[in-house]
Amino acid sequence: MQSVAIYDGPTPVPLLEELAIAGSEAGWERFVFLYEPFLRGQLRRYGLQPCDEADLVQEVFVVVLRKLGEFRHNGKCGAFRAWLREIVVHTARHYFGQQRLRPALGADEWAAELADGDSPLAAEWDREHDRHVTARLLELVRAEFDETHYQAFRRTALDEQPIDDVAQALGVSANVVYIARSRVLARLRAIGRGLMPDG
Protein backbone atom coordinates (compact mmCIF):
# COMPACT_ATOMS: atom_id res chain seq x y z
CA MET A 1 0.00 0.00 0.00
CA GLN A 2 1.26 3.47 -0.80
CA SER A 3 2.32 5.68 2.11
CA VAL A 4 -0.86 7.26 3.40
CA ALA A 5 -2.18 8.15 6.83
CA ILE A 6 -4.27 5.21 8.00
CA TYR A 7 -7.03 5.32 10.56
CA ASP A 8 -5.84 4.33 13.99
CA GLY A 9 -8.38 5.82 16.37
CA PRO A 10 -11.37 3.88 17.69
CA THR A 11 -13.98 6.45 16.58
CA PRO A 12 -12.66 8.46 13.66
CA VAL A 13 -14.48 11.41 12.20
CA PRO A 14 -15.95 10.36 8.83
CA LEU A 15 -13.61 11.44 6.05
CA LEU A 16 -16.01 13.93 4.44
CA GLU A 17 -16.57 15.67 7.76
CA GLU A 18 -12.86 15.66 8.50
CA LEU A 19 -12.17 17.39 5.19
CA ALA A 20 -15.08 19.82 5.26
CA ILE A 21 -14.64 20.90 8.88
CA ALA A 22 -10.97 20.53 9.66
CA GLY A 23 -9.39 20.28 6.22
CA SER A 24 -6.68 18.04 7.67
CA GLU A 25 -3.66 17.10 5.60
CA ALA A 26 -3.97 13.44 6.62
CA GLY A 27 -7.64 13.48 5.60
CA TRP A 28 -6.78 14.95 2.22
CA GLU A 29 -4.09 12.28 1.71
CA ARG A 30 -6.69 9.62 2.41
CA PHE A 31 -9.15 11.26 0.02
CA VAL A 32 -6.56 11.33 -2.77
CA PHE A 33 -5.67 7.70 -1.95
CA LEU A 34 -9.35 6.76 -2.34
CA TYR A 35 -10.15 8.74 -5.45
CA GLU A 36 -7.11 9.29 -7.64
CA PRO A 37 -7.00 5.72 -9.04
CA PHE A 38 -10.76 5.71 -9.58
CA LEU A 39 -10.78 9.03 -11.44
CA ARG A 40 -7.75 8.13 -13.54
CA GLY A 41 -9.35 4.82 -14.44
CA GLN A 42 -12.58 6.52 -15.46
CA LEU A 43 -10.76 9.03 -17.66
CA ARG A 44 -8.26 6.60 -19.17
CA ARG A 45 -10.93 4.77 -21.14
CA TYR A 46 -11.71 7.93 -23.12
CA GLY A 47 -8.37 8.13 -24.88
CA LEU A 48 -6.66 10.86 -22.87
CA GLN A 49 -2.88 10.98 -22.81
CA PRO A 50 -1.43 10.20 -19.35
CA CYS A 51 -0.33 13.82 -18.82
CA ASP A 52 -3.82 15.13 -19.69
CA GLU A 53 -5.41 12.49 -17.48
CA ALA A 54 -3.18 13.56 -14.55
CA ASP A 55 -3.88 17.24 -15.18
CA LEU A 56 -7.63 16.70 -15.32
CA VAL A 57 -7.63 14.66 -12.10
CA GLN A 58 -5.70 17.46 -10.38
CA GLU A 59 -8.22 19.99 -11.67
CA VAL A 60 -11.05 17.86 -10.24
CA PHE A 61 -9.28 17.72 -6.87
CA VAL A 62 -8.87 21.51 -6.85
CA VAL A 63 -12.60 21.96 -7.43
CA VAL A 64 -13.50 19.34 -4.81
CA LEU A 65 -11.24 20.99 -2.25
CA ARG A 66 -12.69 24.41 -3.01
CA LYS A 67 -16.35 23.31 -2.97
CA LEU A 68 -16.39 20.52 -0.37
CA GLY A 69 -17.56 22.89 2.35
CA GLU A 70 -20.64 23.59 0.24
CA PHE A 71 -21.56 19.92 -0.20
CA ARG A 72 -24.68 18.92 1.71
CA HIS A 73 -25.69 15.29 1.71
CA ASN A 74 -29.35 15.08 0.69
CA GLY A 75 -29.89 11.74 2.41
CA LYS A 76 -30.20 9.84 -0.86
CA CYS A 77 -27.98 6.87 -1.64
CA GLY A 78 -25.00 7.94 -3.71
CA ALA A 79 -25.31 11.70 -3.12
CA PHE A 80 -21.57 12.25 -2.92
CA ARG A 81 -20.70 10.13 -5.95
CA ALA A 82 -23.35 12.05 -7.97
CA TRP A 83 -21.89 15.35 -6.76
CA LEU A 84 -18.39 14.19 -7.68
CA ARG A 85 -19.60 12.98 -11.08
CA GLU A 86 -21.08 16.44 -11.70
CA ILE A 87 -17.76 18.06 -10.80
CA VAL A 88 -15.93 15.71 -13.17
CA VAL A 89 -18.34 16.57 -16.00
CA HIS A 90 -18.02 20.34 -15.54
CA THR A 91 -14.26 20.22 -15.01
CA ALA A 92 -13.76 17.96 -18.02
CA ARG A 93 -15.88 20.17 -20.28
CA HIS A 94 -13.83 23.19 -19.25
CA TYR A 95 -10.53 21.33 -19.57
CA PHE A 96 -11.36 19.84 -22.96
CA GLY A 97 -12.43 23.25 -24.21
CA GLN A 98 -9.23 24.93 -23.04
CA GLN A 99 -6.93 22.21 -24.33
CA ARG A 100 -8.94 21.47 -27.47
CA LEU A 101 -8.83 17.82 -26.44
CA ARG A 102 -11.45 15.29 -27.37
CA PRO A 103 -11.77 11.93 -25.67
CA ALA A 104 -12.39 9.01 -27.98
CA LEU A 105 -16.16 9.13 -27.35
CA GLY A 106 -16.26 12.87 -28.04
CA ALA A 107 -16.22 15.46 -25.27
CA ASP A 108 -19.80 16.63 -25.64
CA GLU A 109 -21.32 13.14 -25.94
CA TRP A 110 -19.19 11.78 -23.11
CA ALA A 111 -20.01 14.66 -20.76
CA ALA A 112 -23.72 14.58 -21.61
CA GLU A 113 -23.96 10.85 -20.99
CA LEU A 114 -22.00 11.03 -17.73
CA ALA A 115 -24.11 13.98 -16.55
CA ASP A 116 -27.35 12.04 -17.14
CA GLY A 117 -27.83 10.12 -13.91
CA ASP A 118 -30.00 7.55 -15.73
CA SER A 119 -27.50 6.78 -18.51
CA PRO A 120 -25.58 3.50 -18.79
CA LEU A 121 -22.32 5.44 -18.37
CA ALA A 122 -23.53 7.03 -15.12
CA ALA A 123 -24.75 3.64 -13.87
CA GLU A 124 -21.33 2.16 -14.63
CA TRP A 125 -19.67 5.10 -12.84
CA ASP A 126 -21.83 4.40 -9.76
CA ARG A 127 -21.05 0.68 -9.70
CA GLU A 128 -17.33 1.19 -10.16
CA HIS A 129 -17.26 4.03 -7.63
CA ASP A 130 -18.93 1.93 -4.93
CA ARG A 131 -16.69 -1.05 -5.50
CA HIS A 132 -13.51 1.00 -5.72
CA VAL A 133 -14.18 3.18 -2.66
CA THR A 134 -15.13 0.18 -0.54
CA ALA A 135 -11.93 -1.64 -1.56
CA ARG A 136 -9.73 1.40 -0.89
CA LEU A 137 -11.36 2.10 2.49
CA LEU A 138 -10.74 -1.54 3.33
CA GLU A 139 -7.03 -1.00 2.64
CA LEU A 140 -7.02 1.93 5.08
CA VAL A 141 -8.38 -0.22 7.93
CA ARG A 142 -6.77 -3.52 6.90
CA ALA A 143 -4.42 -3.64 9.89
CA GLU A 144 -7.34 -3.51 12.33
CA PHE A 145 -8.68 -6.94 11.37
CA ASP A 146 -7.33 -10.45 11.49
CA GLU A 147 -7.04 -12.41 8.28
CA THR A 148 -10.36 -14.24 8.77
CA HIS A 149 -12.33 -11.03 9.23
CA TYR A 150 -10.58 -9.39 6.31
CA GLN A 151 -11.08 -12.34 3.93
CA ALA A 152 -14.68 -12.89 5.02
CA PHE A 153 -15.54 -9.32 4.11
CA ARG A 154 -13.45 -9.10 0.96
CA ARG A 155 -14.70 -12.39 -0.48
CA THR A 156 -18.38 -11.85 0.29
CA ALA A 157 -18.72 -8.09 -0.22
CA LEU A 158 -16.19 -7.37 -2.96
CA ASP A 159 -15.73 -10.70 -4.72
CA GLU A 160 -19.43 -11.56 -4.23
CA GLN A 161 -18.76 -15.14 -3.21
CA PRO A 162 -21.55 -17.01 -1.39
CA ILE A 163 -21.24 -16.90 2.40
CA ASP A 164 -21.34 -20.70 2.75
CA ASP A 165 -18.51 -21.08 0.22
CA VAL A 166 -16.40 -18.48 2.03
CA ALA A 167 -17.07 -20.12 5.40
CA GLN A 168 -15.97 -23.48 4.05
CA ALA A 169 -12.83 -22.01 2.44
CA LEU A 170 -11.87 -20.22 5.66
CA GLY A 171 -12.71 -23.20 7.88
CA VAL A 172 -15.26 -21.31 9.97
CA SER A 173 -19.02 -21.29 10.36
CA ALA A 174 -21.29 -19.14 8.23
CA ASN A 175 -22.16 -17.25 11.43
CA VAL A 176 -18.50 -16.28 11.87
CA VAL A 177 -18.48 -14.96 8.30
CA TYR A 178 -21.65 -12.93 8.94
CA ILE A 179 -20.19 -11.45 12.13
CA ALA A 180 -16.83 -10.69 10.53
CA ARG A 181 -18.49 -9.06 7.54
CA SER A 182 -20.70 -6.99 9.82
CA ARG A 183 -17.77 -5.75 11.93
CA VAL A 184 -15.67 -4.72 8.94
CA LEU A 185 -18.64 -3.07 7.27
CA ALA A 186 -19.44 -1.10 10.43
CA ARG A 187 -15.88 0.23 10.51
CA LEU A 188 -15.95 1.15 6.82
CA ARG A 189 -19.27 2.93 7.28
CA ALA A 190 -17.87 4.87 10.23
CA ILE A 191 -15.03 6.36 8.21
CA GLY A 192 -16.80 6.36 4.84
CA ARG A 193 -20.12 7.86 5.85
CA GLY A 194 -21.35 9.73 2.80
CA LEU A 195 -18.95 7.86 0.51
CA MET A 196 -20.12 4.29 0.96
CA PRO A 197 -22.78 2.79 -1.35
CA ASP A 198 -25.53 3.11 1.28
CA GLY A 199 -24.71 6.72 2.08
pLDDT in tens, 84-116: 999 998 888 887 776 665 555 566 677 788 888
pLDDT over 90 at 181, yes or no:
yes
Specify the pLDDT at position 1: 43
Pairwise pLDDT comparison (2 vs 124), residue with the higher score: 124
Tell me the per-residue pLDDT of 17-60, one tens digit each, with 9 for 90 and over: 777 665 678 788 888 999 999 999 888 777 677 888 898 899 99
Three state DSSP letters for 56-69: HHHHHHHHHHHHHH
Specify the pLDDT at position 199: 41
Distance CA 78, CA 99 (A): 31
The segment with the largest mean pLDDT, out of 79-88, 104-113, 173-182, is: 173-182
Specify the pLDDT at position 97: 72
Average pLDDT over residues 75-84: 83
For the entire predicted model, the pTM comes to 0.79
pLDDT over 80 at 177, yes or no:
yes
DSSP per-residue letters across the chain: --S-PPP-SSSPPPHHHIIIII--HHHHHHHHHHHHHHHHHHHHTTT--HHHHHHHHHHHHHHHHHHGGG----SSTTHHHHHHHHHHHHHHHHHHHHHT---TT-HHHHHHHHH-TTSHHHHHHHHHHHHHHHHHHHHHHGGGS-HHHHHHHIIIIIS---HHHHHHHHTS-HHHHHHHHHHHHHHHHHHHTTTSTT-
pLDDT over 90 at 196, yes or no:
no
Specify the pLDDT at position 107: 62
Specify the pLDDT at position 29: 87
Average pLDDT over residues 4-16: 57
pLDDT over 70 at 198, yes or no:
no
